[in-house]
Structure 1
Amino acid sequence: MKNAILEVENVERIYKDEDKETLALKNVNFKIEEGEFVSIIGASGCGKTTLLRMIAGLDQIEKGNIRLRGEAVGKNNQQIGYVFQQGSLFEWLTVEQNIAYGLKASGQYKQKNQLVKEYITLTGLTGFEDVYPHQISGGMAQRVAIARALVNSPDILLLDEPMGALDSFTRANLQDKLLEIKHKNKITMLLVTHDIDEAIYLSDKIIIMTPRPGKISEIMNIKIAHPRNRSGSEFVTIRNKLMEKFALASEDALPEYVI
């Protein structure tokens, strides 16, 4: 391990409902290096989003530790950017105002307003600065959400299935845009996805989780040079291996991969 930007150690999460307790995550351990793109895959309900929310400081840790650059994560951590499944844009604000919202809320807009323009350009939103969310496509809305998360210059960007509701062409375009942003700005990214092809296309490594309680079944390194060919022999070989491993990790549960 070179420089571990994120460390997750022996993490557990239990949900309590009246007299019932549900163990959502059990003994989760992994590290992410600076600049890596890591994906988490697993069946619905295995705790992927819960884990992401805990890293972001949006959900409590029952047991274990999560550290970013050696410091325990907490609420309102400006070093962590978060993109939700649905962009969660403010409908009454324009594209540019949505992207600038975090900077204005933290009082940094005057010093860093040039970043708003930079990310509008980088995410391909030039010309749409004064448009409202209801006037743009789902793919563009997710690009706005990504720009809004990145404009605060986070050390790590958490992505909770941000491309799940998009059509295949828009999804592929946004995947390439994420890789462009990652390589250009050296940002560490952690993605939750159900799509095995997406995980292979984007990731340096893939974390495979079991059904509830969510545990790490295996961490698989993806050593294919970019740009990656989805129909190439290396890609197909890894896809087949990953589908087999995912099926084994899911035990009796049906795998939920998308091809």
Structure 2
Amino acid sequence: MSLENLIEIAAVSRTYLDANENTVEALKGISLSIKKGEFLSIIGPSGCGKTTLLRLIAGLDAPESGKITLEGETITAPDPHRGYVFQQGSLFPWLTVEKNIAAGLKARGVYQKEKGEVAKYLALIGLEGFEKAYPHQISGGMAQRVAIARSLINRPAALLLDEPMGALDSFTRADLQDKLLELWQRDQTTMILVTHDVDEAVYLSDRIVIMTPRPGTISEILDIRLPRPRHRNGAEFTALRSSILEKLHLASAGLQPEYAI
């Protein structure tokens, strides 16, 4: 993994108005450097601003104060070079699997030049034979693979993952985690994952960012030094998971975090 920083988050804060016109402080003074080629996970209790931070990195929202840069350039708007995968995948229901993947190329105006990449990414995500299927004809896990391929086909500098496995059953989730690792190791695309699942964070990550309840701040950043492939029932994995759960309780200042094991 390169030690070069790809994304710099400097003293970022974000507030917004809720449905009752009350000011809500979502993030306060977030500073974080994200390395090129690393797999970073962000965990914390519900409402701590994890998704808000991811949206700011994506350029889908703007900070009240502070700055976020990618390779020195300030992020001000969405860009295909920062792929975003939502919890439900958000596939276009009227397009087939292959056309959903191709949508990324068409949005950039390079489809005619790079359309051969669609078959390549179908193979990479293991969905050969499902090219002509529509989203309602495939499983949730398959749909998330398509959403990931649709982002990766643009060869983004960073792939932003907003709990993409949160709605899947445990077997499908584990399978998709392995596929995500395979894709990450193949291209070394920087991946930033928001998750409630402590096991998932430990299994996938180089580093884990633990956030506090609102206003979201960074409580701690952990280096995960377990060798790969990782074994979920191994003694080191189990000990690290227990330690992180304790840290989550401390970071939550008595609030019960929501996470899955």
TM range (shorter): over 0.9
1:93 aligns with 2:87: no
> What are the superposed Cα offsets for residues 77-126 of structure 1, whole Å, 9 maximum, x if unpaired?
12100000111111000000000012112211112212211111111111
> What are the superposed Cα offsets for residues 133-191 of structure 1, whole Å, 9 maximum, x if unpaired?
00000000000000001111100000000000000000000000000000001111000
Q: Distance in 2 between matches of 1:28 and 1:115?
A: 37
- Scaled by the length of structure 2, the TM-score of the pair is 0.97
Q: Distance in 2 between matches of 1:231 and 1:81?
A: 32
Query: Stretches of 4+ moved more than 2 A in 1?
Result: 16-20
Tell me the C-alpha RMSD between the 2 structures: 1.1
Q: Do the aligned residues in 1 keep the contact of 2:8 with 2:70 (CA within 8 Å)?
A: yes
Q: Distance in 1 between matches of 2:74 and 2:122?
A: 32
How far did 1:76 drift? 3.0
Q: Find the counterpart in structure 1 of residue 226 from structure 2.
A: 224
After TM superposition, list the pairs within 5 Å mapping 1:31-110 onto structure 2: 31-110=33-112
How far did 1:74 drift? 2.2
Q: Find the counterpart in structure 2 of residue 133 from structure 1.
A: 135
Q: Find the counterpart in structure 1 of residue 3 from structure 2.
A: 2
In structure 1, stretches of 5+ residues that fail to align are none
**Partner amino acid, structure 2, of 1:151:** I
- Scaled by the length of structure 1, the TM-score of the pair is 0.98
How far did 1:21 drift? 1.1
How far did 1:16 drift? 2.5
Q: Find the counterpart in structure 2 of residue 16 from structure 1.
A: 17
> What are the superposed Cα offsets for residues 193-230 of structure 1, whole Å, 9 maximum, x if unpaired?
00000000000000000000000000000001110000
Q: Find the counterpart in structure 2 of residue 191 from structure 1.
A: 193
In structure 2, stretches of 5+ residues that fail to align are none
Bigger mean CA offset, 233-242 vs 105-114: 105-114
Q: Which of 103, 116, 120 is residue 114 of structure 1 equivalent to?
A: 116
Q: Do the aligned residues in 1 keep the contact of 2:62 with 2:76 (CA within 8 Å)?
A: no
Q: Distance in 1 between matches of 2:210 and 2:69?
A: 21
Length, aligned pairs only: 259
Q: Distance in 2 between matches of 1:14 and 1:199?
A: 27
Local SS of the residue matching 1:231: coil
Q: Distance in 2 between matches of 1:123 and 1:44?
A: 30
Identical pairs, percent: 60
